[in-house]
């Protein structure tokens, strides 16, 4: 593995751990050249999953694209990088477990929205605004009203005595 700081290929694995699901290994490494510490992830390479876009085009599933979308949605929210990584892993794993070679992009978007709604409402609305391509403010407000009237939603109002 190449050191991101000095590009040296000489490094030592300091710590290895399986993630909770057991489908990837997190390795802490120390560069022998510059002493920079960095983390790598190792996972089994699955057969290529194809994503079918709205216009019928097919492209390989790109985990980084999913991660980038989640990062944009969760920007400035109280969602940790570990939560975003775990969410990405969970979504990728659920797609692979279905055992299908092709999955519609709409199914991926629906899965992301379902999980984001449980994780952070603001991130959910941000993702929904891009994913659902709201035409105007009224469509956006209807989505926000749906979140507000959800009975599972915690009461987040602050009361003062």
DSSP 91-138: HHHHHHHTT-SEEEHHHHHHHHHHHHHHH-HHHHHHHHHHHTT--SHH
**How many C-beta neighbours within 10 Å does residue 96 have?**
16
Q: Angle between the 105-119 and 121-131 helix axes, to the nearest 10 degrees?
A: 160
Domain assignment present for residue 154? The answer is no
Domain assignment present for residue 58? The answer is yes
Domain assignment present for residue 151? The answer is no
Q: Are residues 1 and 66 in the same domain?
A: no
Q: Are residues 27 and 53 in the same domain?
A: no
Q: Are residues 20 and 65 in the same domain?
A: no
Domain assignment present for residue 17? The answer is yes
Conformation bin of residue 49: beta by default, left when phi > 0, alpha when psi is -120 to 50 = beta
Residue 136: pLDDT band by 50, 70, 90 thresholds? low
Return the percentage of the chain with pLDDT > 70, whole number.
Answer: 83
Query: Is residue 19 within 8 Å of residue 26, measured between CB atoms?
Result: yes
Q: Are residues 85 and 136 in the same domain?
A: yes
Query: Is residue 117 within 8 Å of residue 124, measured between CB atoms?
Result: yes
Q: Are residues 73 and 55 in the same domain?
A: yes
Q: For residue 56, give the DSSP letter.
A: S
pLDDT tens-place string over residues 59-89: 999 999 999 999 999 998 999 999 999 999 9
State in Å, rounded, how far the first CA of the chain is from the last one. Answer: 57
Domain that holds residue 3: 1-44
Q: Are residues 75 and 30 in the same domain?
A: no
Q: Are residues 77 and 32 in the same domain?
A: no
Q: Are residues 125 and 51 in the same domain?
A: yes
């Amino acid at each position: 593995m190449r050191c991101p700081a000095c590009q040296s290929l000489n490094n030592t694995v300091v710590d290895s751990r399986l993630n909770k699901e057991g489908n990837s290994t997190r390795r802490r490494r120390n560069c022998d050249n510059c002493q920079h510490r960095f983390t790598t992830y190792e996972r089994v390479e699955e057969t290529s999953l194809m994503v079918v876009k709205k216009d019928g085009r097919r492209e390989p599933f790109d985990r980084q694209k999913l991660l980038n979308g989640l990062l944009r949605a969760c920007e400035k929210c109280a969602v940790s990088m570990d939560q975003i990584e775990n969410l990405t892993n969970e979504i990728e794993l659920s797609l692979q477990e279905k055992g299908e070679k092709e999955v519609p992009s709409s199914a991926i978007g629906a899965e992301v929205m379902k999980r984001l709604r449980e994780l952070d409402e603001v991130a959910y609305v941000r993702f929904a605004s891009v994913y659902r391509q709201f035409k105007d403010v009224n469509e956006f407000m209807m989505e926000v009203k749906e979140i507000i009237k959800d009975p599972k939603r915690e009461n987040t109002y602050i009361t003062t005595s």
